[in-house]
Structure 1
Amino acid sequence: MGNKAELEFISWLRTQATPKNWVPVGPGDDTAVVTWPNDKPCLVTSDMLLEGSCFILAEAGAERIGRKAMNVNLSDIAAMAGIPRAALVSLALPRNGGKQLAQQLFNGLKQAADIFDTAIVGGDTNSWNGPLAISITLLGYPGPKGPILRSTAKPGDAILVTGQLGGSILGKHLDFIPRIAEAQLLSQLANLNSMIDLSDGLALDLHRLCAESKCGATLFADQIPIADSAFQMKDDKTPLQHALGDGEDFELLFSLPAFEAQHLLKDQPLKGIRVTQIGEITKDGFLMEEKGRKIPLEALGYIHQFD
């Protein structure tokens, strides 16, 4: 994108911004100005998506990629039972992409942000002789009960999950809806002890939660809600293996006292989204109960490789 195209893109961006009363100064100045609710801490998260690793632009299209990039960050805010407020977006555009690619990406980003009343307040755009990269920093604040952490699970807690798991590569990884509203409702209805969003795989993310909480877990294989897409995968893995390790489900996994879990399971308060108990927090160790026997639970999931 040349200098003229970049200036035209920035001017276009400013016409697309949705006014928010908490953003007195948006895109166009050296920094944005964002006001904050009194006494609210700031939740900050950042995720980068890379072409060839996180998506294939030619297959998915720019708008879907923009939506996914924003939704990945929104899912992190959901994991804290938080409320998103403002986003900074930085793009590294391939030189042959031009202003049209940038505008299509922004349309997708804004579609996702608008669903949750989140303002895109600034960022940066550059071009290079490489693939598309998108980096977003998202700001939010906790709900009334404060942030729900990974580090506060307790032995005896029931482990619950929203939705279904596995086979997200067949479409869900691009078109999921972050569980912002669901996390807010769950945190109001029950005393959640811990929570995490399932971005890298059920087994791996559960290991991560337990590592922070210094505890273990047992999963019940026959209770894990397996998505239809996991049964449609054409490989040598079982549907259960896909549910345990595919990743990019972007559902919520959370723990809470067992007696409170029973109320949630009975009432099923999330409209159109089932909540399922899939295990329990233990003092140590990682096991899975399957067909009457207990086997070690491996940390299956997606791990970024660094040479």
Structure 2
Amino acid sequence: MPPAEHSEWNWIDDVRRRAGSGPRVAIGIGDDTALLKTSTATLVTTDMLMDGVDFVVGETPADLIGRKCLAVNLSDIAAMAGRPTGAVVSLALPRRGGRALAEGLYDGLLRLAQESGCPIVGGDTNSWDGPLVVNVAVLGEPTGRGAVTRAGARPGDRVFVTGPVGGSLPSLRHCTFRPRLSEAQALHQCVELHAMLDLSDGLSSDLFHIVEASQVGIELDAGAIPIHDDVAPGQPHADRLNHALSDGEDFELLFCVSEEDAQTLLSQPPGGVELYSIGRCVPEPGVWLLGADSRRPLGRGGWEHRFT
């Protein structure tokens, strides 16, 4: 029989005390369900992250694992220009060392929850003989003009990203990035966002989501793509560009706006928002990479979960 302080109920009580509450939380952790006071429209997103795929237990600090598991969901809310209202967290913990691992995970989870105004309002905890699996679901509400989708890009639109890309995995930036919630809302207030998503699988892959949803094409200016300093500067430029296109897990925002609104953003960027204009939408479906004197089709790169 484990000591009382190691019991599931003791653990839930500890998490409930640490999670606190928020203005939209009518009922939080401890009941059969949480009760959130939200607008009539609700954004819902969920991600499952696994040891050996999205992080490596023993190599990645536990608090950064917990942080990432919440951050990737908050990034999805940002991609819709939304505001998070609450999160539920489910853990499948390895039996050996599970309690210490859970405590580390929640250090990172609760810290980011407080920073982002997204209270953790419930979830589930289990243990098994397998590796760590974490599932987080975040609820949110639209802001401003409503939810921004991937489907509104138009020929003539300018394409932007909110920061440099590439090299996120070796640097652990995939665990420490800041979800672009405030940037998305600032942009949403300033201009009409025609389409937007967050860069999770890689620029060369995620572009196709907008292309297919909006039924447009995109021409990328190879010289305008911002390459992150985490990509080794000693590599040939072509290799560094390939990292920027394909590495993934940058979690910057990729968005499309009219030419007029693009000029507004470039001349008067909203406070604190970093902006890079990297291309244009065109009528012809597909994605192309423009060099100084070339135009070539760009295939899907980046990450893809494969199964049979």
Name the TM tier (shorter chain): over 0.9
Per-residue CA shift, 1:83-133, capped at 9, x if unaligned? 001001000000112322112111211111111111101000000111101
**Conserved in 2, the CA contact under 8 Å of 1:77 and 1:180?**
yes
Distance 1:202 1:233 in 2: 22
Q: Deviations over 1:120-173 (max 9, x none)?
A: 010000001111010011000011210010011111100011010100112211
Q: 1:167 is aligned with what amino acid? A: G
Q: CA deviation at 1:25?
A: 1.2
C-alpha distance in 2 between matches for 1:130 and 1:270: 46
Code of the aligned partner of 1:277: S
Identity %: 44
Deviation, 1:231, is: 2.7
Distance in 2, matches of 1:235 and 1:54, equals 28
Which residue does 1:72 correspond to in 2?
A: 72
Q: For this pair of structures, how many residues does the alignment match?
A: 304
| Distance in 2, Cα, partners of 1:152 & 1:197 | 15
Question: CA separation in 2, counterparts of 1:203 and 1:277?
Answer: 16
User: Equivalents in 2 of 1:275, 1:301: separation in Å?
Assistant: 22
Q: Say if 1:193 and 1:168 are closer, same or farther in 2 by CA, change over 3 A.
A: same
The answer to whether the Cα contact below 8 Å between 1:167 and 1:232 also exists between their aligned partners in 2 is no
SS at match of 2:250: coil
Q: Which residue of 2 aligns with 1:113?
A: 113
- Cα distance between partner residues in 2 of 1:6 and 1:97: 14
Output the TM-score relative to the length of structure 1. 0.95
Runs of 4+ in 1 over 6 A off after TM superposition: 233-237
Aligned Cα RMSD in Å?
Answer: 1.8
Give the Å deviation of 1:6.
1.2
In structure 2, distance between residues paired with 1:191 and 1:22: 28
1:27 corresponds, among 17, 24, 29, to 29
Q: Where in structure 2 are there 5+ consecutive unaligned residues?
A: none
- The TM-score with structure 2 as length reference comes to 0.94
Please give the alpha-carbon distance, in whole angstroms, between the structure 2 residues aligned to 1:14 and 1:57: 25
* 1:8, distance to aligned residue in structure 2 (A): 1.4
1:92-241, aligned counterparts within 5 Å? 92-169=92-169, 170-232=171-233, 238-241=239-242
1:287 matched to 2:279? The reply is no
Structure 2 counterpart SS, 1:126: strand
Contact 1:5 / 1:99 at 8 angstroms: preserved in 2? Answer: no
C-alpha change, 1:306 and 1:234, in structure 2 (3 Å) is farther
**Preserved CA contact (<8 Å) 1:44 1:139:** yes
